[in-house]
Amino acid sequence: MKKSLVISGSGGQGVMSAGIMIAQTAVAAGKYATFLPEYGPEQRGGSAKCTVVVNDSEIISPLMAKCDTLITMNEQSYKKFGASLKSGGILIANTSRVLSEITREDITAVKVPADDIAVELGSIKCANIILIGALIGADAGIITEEAMLASLEAKFGSKKKEVLELNKAALAKGIEYGKNAKA
């Protein structure tokens, strides 16, 4: 089944890293995936957006009018891309930075204070992994927990054990938030 995801935020928040990791995880699990990055003109701190499409069969085009799932990492990206989410879709908002009230009643809103959780865990750099966890917990149908854990192992397994454990803990926290939103 074809699923589309937009991840948006500002440069330095791990938007592109999250998108690449989700696409690679889907491919490793036997699916087809596309990753389409969009950058603002700034080197750091400017807008960042990527689109990931995952499907069981070949993907003809990574472009779509509206997405099934939207991850917004800051207020600016929520305001800019919130309307691009399909009715019935899933919004995952980093409420550490998305301060607007989420009023749409035709979507599932997963509110995750990802920056705050990341700081509690020990590194702001894992906020994007927390939001990927929320994506999995909300059952968006894009990647599975098992596949993502394997990707984390492949990406961080050769680094210090603490880095891998931090990212596993971040993923688990995000999954918890995603599951609670669907309950």
Q: What count of other Cβ atoms lies within 10 Å of the Cβ of residue 46?
A: 12
Q: What count of other Cβ atoms lies within 10 Å of the Cβ of residue 81?
A: 20
pLDDT in tens, 143-177: 999 999 999 999 998 888 999 999 999 999 999 99
Amino acid of residue 20: I
Amino acid of residue 125: K
Enter the tokens of residue 84. 């691009």
For the domain that residue 156 is a member of, what is the CATH number?
3.40.920.10
Domain total for the chain?
1
Its pTM stands at: 0.94
Amino acid of residue 83: A
Amino acid of residue 141: G
For the chain, what is the mean pLDDT? 94
pLDDT in tens, 64-93: 899 999 999 999 999 999 999 999 999 999
| Residue 21: domain span | 3-182
